[in-house]
Structure 1
């Protein structure tokens, strides 16, 4: 694991050398927006990351500027509907810092966020380092799973659903925070296919807002995890032991508002609760 961490750190440092001055300025602007909660305007920065490599390089630099260490990742655009919204043909990912993964029940202040949404997800945790050679069955045996509420947030104003794909990538896939519930060994499910048939309902102040199924997440959330492991490997990175992955939303996300939020899952996964002040 120590060697893997060194590899990831080396990759980030190498990516820094490929950044133009404008791209470094972009990463710094994202960092300032995060710290000051003053959103950016897309048109001011859209020419500074015009392809996937540039966008992920900016994200790496933005991540490097955040305090703490990477605690895992979030996967976005895991349904045809959301990919179409952002003119994409595959998912994308963002790094999440360790302190942005919160154990439920959790409380957050709306004023600490910018323009947040709320999503219903399954959150995996690696019990050992994961490899692109891992099959879906391997991933099921090497992870835990928990019910989750993800709160995507952006450093850009009026970002959903109009922000361009490369701006989303640069902005850490609009990473915000992830609230996760009780963890179970993923192989509590009978087989890989069983993970396609998880249903969950989202409540706000006990009002039933919407329900969705895990099949919305690339057909199976384990496929989202596998996609991420492979994408990280392409970039010389690895999903490490104890890192978590918020794997993709079951439903189109509403705006996060004050009050109590709960996602209730079947298949014995239980509930995850978030209070927003």
Structure 2
């Protein structure tokens, strides 16, 4: 188990303070504080301890080659999220309550029972519900996208913000087989204007691969993806900035729509 040194503990406290004050950090002030994955996750764990509430779920980031290259990474990473940051659609938030938010289009999975590292993709289909999701990643650092270092992204709970999720369906009832989960199409709108569209295969070739990666990664750290927890599994599109207005994502495969109004 990684033990934080004095500067790393100060870093965790600074990240927590930024999340409560809304005053962003400057990356230059913390360069070199964290230089490896284990320490980055240890800082993240400390931030979650300071929040003083249980882990409600997770987000997985860097699930495409393009985003991995942007952050000089060769694998995904995850962030722990508090339950209050998962919002059922339709949701309304204030832009002033965010810091430097973006918008992502994702699939979200909720565990119907504890998930195990030995679970196959078929097992994960049987053990989860699935929903369309609109994620609002956000960071405690100023000017963070796309230049924030990978370790600081990890320490900052994978730049976790909010996740708005749609109607949940038993995954193995909505989809006939694993391959269908790689074929979900989604269109992102701001008002009447379509901003982008994407397909779920952008997420590690299949969002179930993202979920399986997370379950195994947690197990390697002595953690369990618990019954009731939710994960936002990775974006279909490169994220635009969140602005005021009505955001809408339309999914096919009977996943419906997800709506977010930003005031």
| TM, length-normalised to structure 2 | 0.98
Aligned to 1:142: 127
Structure 1, unpaired ranges of 5+: 1-13
Aligned to 1:8: none
Structure 1 position 67, deviation (Å):
4.0
RMSD: 0.8
Out of 241, 244, 253, the residue aligned to residue 267 of structure 1 is: 253
Matched, 1:26 2:11: yes
Matched, 1:248 2:229: no
* Deviation sequence 1:109-153 (CA, Å, 0-9, x none): 111110000000000000000000000000000000000000000
User: Aligned partners of 1:71, 1:276: CA distance in 2, in Å?
Assistant: 23
Secondary structure in 2 aligned to 1:122? strand
User: Aligned partners of 1:206, 1:113: CA distance in 2, in Å?
Assistant: 24
Aligned to 1:214: 200
Aligned to 2:244: 258
Secondary structure in 2 aligned to 1:249? coil
Out of 159, 163, 166, the residue aligned to residue 144 of structure 2 is: 159
Out of 63, 84, 95, the residue aligned to residue 99 of structure 1 is: 84
Aligned to 1:122: 107
Aligned to 1:6: none
User: Aligned partners of 2:22, 2:102: CA distance in 1, in Å?
Assistant: 16
Aligned to 1:48: 33
Equivalent residue runs for 1:161-240 within 5 Å: 161-187=146-172, 188-240=174-226
Aligned to 1:132: 117
User: Aligned partners of 1:46, 1:127: CA distance in 2, in Å?
Assistant: 40
User: Aligned partners of 1:183, 1:270: CA distance in 2, in Å?
Assistant: 10
Structure 1 position 84, deviation (Å):
0.2
* Deviation sequence 1:160-181 (CA, Å, 0-9, x none): 0000000000000000010000
Structure 1 position 46, deviation (Å):
2.1
User: Aligned partners of 1:67, 1:258: CA distance in 2, in Å?
Assistant: 31
Aligned to 1:9: none
Equivalenced residues, count? 262
Aligned to 1:74: 59
Bigger mean CA deviation after superposition, 59-68 or 166-175:
59-68
| TM, length-normalised to structure 1 | 0.93
Aligned to 2:75: 90
Runs of 4+ in 1 over 4 A off after TM superposition: none
Structure 1 position 69, deviation (Å):
1.7
User: Aligned partners of 1:254, 1:108: CA distance in 2, in Å?
Assistant: 17
User: Aligned partners of 2:151, 2:190: CA distance in 1, in Å?
Assistant: 32
User: Aligned partners of 1:225, 1:66: CA distance in 2, in Å?
Assistant: 25
